[in-house]
Amino acid sequence: MVKSHTKRELKSWGKSMIIAIGIAAVVRTFFFSPYEVEGASMEPTLHNQERVFVNKWGDLKRGEIIIIKGEDENYVKRLIGLPGDTIEMENDQLVINGVLFDEPYLSENRKLAKRVSNLLTGDFGPIKVPKNQYFVMGDNRLYSMDSRNGLGFIQKAEIIGQSEFVFFPFSQIRRTD
């Protein structure tokens, strides 16, 4: 009698574990996943080796931090241009569809760039973002490979999702918007 009770208990635990693993796999595959930031292209917003949770669900919005699937590695960048947008950078001012776009997340980097008498972002454009593609830039524009200089336009299928919050290191837990 004790053996059959133990056997039932083990079976029950086994089923529970399989269900829990299945749910975790579905959530990670379709809804949320952790990613590690590599490099300095998003500093000071995100730092090298921080870990972020990425939401794979929802509409893409200008200004969000997104994860892009590359051939050999993933990239963390800020979504600047949506399909059909016309983007221009002049004298460190971003203009999208003829309207000046405020980028408060760049204030610290702009101060650093001015110390070395540089603009944070070199002039470019106007550039029209093609249909079903996106234009991205890193926050650390002096040291970022992005749509301006190597990544080019990003296909929607290459976008894994939007960064929601930093969860590691634990002392730095915060939202990334």
Q: Which amino acid is at 114?
A: K
Bridge partners of 153, per DSSP, are none
Amino acid identity of residue 153, one-letter, is F
CA distances from 157 to 99, 132, 133, 134, 153 (A): 28, 9, 9, 11, 12
C-alpha to C-alpha distances, 124 to 43, 134, 160, nearest whole angstrom:
22, 16, 27
Please say whether the beta carbons of 67 and 54 come within 8 A. Answer: yes
Has 163 been annotated as catalytic? no
Token digits of residue 172: 């730095």
Q: Is 101 helix (H, G, I), strand (E, B) or coil?
A: strand
77 in active site: yes
CA Rg value for the chain: 21
Q: Which of 7, 12, 15, 41 is catalytic?
A: 41
Q: Which of 77, 144, 147, 163 is catalytic?
A: 77
Give catalytic residue positions.
Answer: 41, 77
